[in-house]
Amino acid sequence: MALMTGEQYIESIRKMNMEVYMFGKRIESPVDDPILRPSLNSVRMTYDLAQMPEYQDLMTTISPYTHERINRFTHIHQSAEDLVKKVKMQRLLGQKTASCFQRCVGMDAFNAVFSTTYETDRKYGTHYHDNFRAFMEYVQKNDLTVDGAMTDPKGDRSKAPHAQDDPDMFLHIVERRSDGIVVRGAKAHQTGVLNSHEVIVMPTQAMRAEDADYAVSFAVPMDTPGVSMIIGRQSCDTRKRENTTMDVGNSEFGGVEALTIFHDVFVPNERVFLSGEYDFAGMMVERFAGYHRQSYGGCKVGVGDVLIGAAAVAADYNGAAKASHVKDKLIEMIHLNETLYSCGIACSSEGHRTESGNYIIDLLLANVCKQNVTRFPYEIVRLAEDIAGGLVVTAPSEADFRDPKLGPIIDKYLRGSSSVSTENRLRILRLIENLALGTAAVGYRTESMHGAGSPQAQRIMISRQGNLEQKKALAKAIAHIQE
Ligand code: SF4
Ligand code: FE
């Protein structure tokens, strides 16, 4: 079974006995929880679209390892063309879900761990690449969703991992056994972790010799004893518990984060991809971050397409579509969104082969891509709110709209263009609210800022990769300067 249907995916997650907490209680059936279910539906879309002939080329490919058709989310990129298709696939999914569809972190971890384990083995004679290859083939054959967990809580930012007052502020090895390792720590902000069959854990930053126990990478199933999740709150999250589709804005899809705890979790040797080779922690981080910064040039663009569409519909419904400033604002939103896409495509087509044989993006361009993503969605949201008007945040609830006494009043006074129902007008405004301020704002705004690394992390990479010396030499040559 190299491709699961969406329904099979849901049932496979249902069978897992994950330890999930929310609002102070253990959630017995996360799959059926109204707050958590939209997030699962977003991942499901990665399975559903893979079944559709029109998307087969984008969503699937033939694995060079299993020789079967696999979902592209489990693929090891074999060419720059694969990298481009990845970004196009992510834009498509952003358009279909208007949220974070979560499965990319595993794909990005896959490709970073694939090449890093190869180079670690070459230096140290370890067998991490074989371990990873076996895991990768298992995931491809079973079409699993894998989370990629990188971000540690980090405690006091001025202190190295081993120097923290609490040694668990970075995930680390607490015991080395003949049959494996035992790890302790946590990973923060894990979007989609509760919708994943497996998690690949990676170090959060480059490590030094004193932090060797923190240079650890491995994979475990999400229902492994000792692994638990505490769900993060999102703005307007409990609207999903109310009996309303209107007020939620995007009632079907979403993304959910969790603080994920690894309390003395045993990892068998064959699932270990790095364990103490601290000089390769930085490479794994840089490559994962690079791939995920490329990803944002696809997923956020797709969500941006929905937001731009929503703003244009709101303008139509308000009777403002012909105003020249509204038209110009929509043009600006498209310009910004397509600039992000251009960056995603550019870092992909400039990709190159690694020593292990898979393809990696151009790191400078991927970091420029993500740096723009920390800014442009904010401007796109600002323009959407401008076009939509204040009703985005002042409209009454669906319960009032359905009330026999209040409904007709709302219907009368909140109508825009007379050819459009008040209900439709409110629905599109609620979608804008959801993307700008509600549950989806986590994915479209704050995740654009901090996901795949905060802005300063990209600036450090840009300064490293920017080759200022070469630019100085160019200027001196043109100016006929001889020193
Ligand atoms: Fe994929 Fe974007 Fe979500 Fe990252 S933020 S997992 S790239 S959809
Ligand atoms: Fe993300």
- How confident is the model at residue 1, as a pLDDT? 63
- How confident is the model at residue 82, as a pLDDT? 98
Query: Is the confidence at residue 207, as pLDDT, over 80?
Result: yes
Q: Which ligand is nearest to the CA of 377?
A: 1
Query: Is the confidence at residue 46, as pLDDT, over 90?
Result: yes
The proportion of the chain whose per-residue pLDDT surpasses 70, expressed as a percent, equals 100
Query: CB atoms < 10 A from the CB of 56, how many?
Result: 14
Whole-number average pLDDT of the chain: 97
Structural contact between residues 210 and 167, judged by C-beta atoms closer than 8 angstroms: no
Q: Which ligand is nearest to the CA of 107?
A: 1
Crossing angle (nearest 10°) for helices 324-349 and 281-318: 160
Dihedral, CA of residue 454, residue 456, residue 461 and residue 467, to nearest 10: 150
pLDDT tens for each residue of 334-364? 999 999 999 999 999 999 999 999 999 999 9
Task: Kindly report the pTM of this predicted structure.
Answer: 0.98
CA distance 107 to 90: 12
* Average pLDDT rounded to a whole number, residues 382-403: 98
The CATH T-level fold of domain 8-277 is Butyryl-CoA Dehydrogenase, subunit A; domain 2 (2.40.110)
Pocket probe for ligand 1: among 46, 102, 300, 449, the residue whose CB has the most ligand atoms within 8 Å is 102
Name the token pair of 354. Answer: 């690694």
CA distance 245 to 265: 40
Is residue 100 among the annotated active site residues? yes
CA distance 300 to 376: 10
Q: What is the DSSP string of 139-186?
A: HHHHT--EEEE-----SSTTS-GGGSSSGGGS-EEEEEETTEEEEEEE
pLDDT tens for each residue of 276-332? 999 999 999 999 999 999 999 999 999 999 999 999 999 999 999 999 999 999 999
CA distance 365 to 371: 10
- How confident is the model at residue 77, as a pLDDT? 98
Is residue 292 among the annotated active site residues? yes
CA distance 76 to 72: 8
| Of 299, 343, 347, 369, catalytic | 299
pLDDT tens for each residue of 133-183? 999 999 999 999 999 999 999 999 999 999 999 999 999 999 999 999 999
pLDDT band at 204 (very low <50, low <70, confident <90, very high): very high
pLDDT tens for each residue of 415-431? 999 999 999 999 999 99
- How confident is the model at residue 2, as a pLDDT? 87
Distance from CA of residue 37 to its chain's centroid? Answer: 17
* Average pLDDT rounded to a whole number, residues 456-471: 96
Is residue 296 among the annotated active site residues? yes
- How confident is the model at residue 83, as a pLDDT? 98
Distance 258 CA to ligand 1 centre (A): 15
Q: Which atom of ligand 1 is nearest to the CA of 192?
A: 6
pLDDT tens for each residue of 74-126? 999 999 999 999 999 999 999 999 999 999 999 999 999 999 999 999 999 99
Domain regions of the chain by residue span: 8-277, 283-467
Domain 283-467: give its CATH superfamily.
Butyryl-CoA Dehydrogenase, subunit A, domain 3 (1.20.140.10)
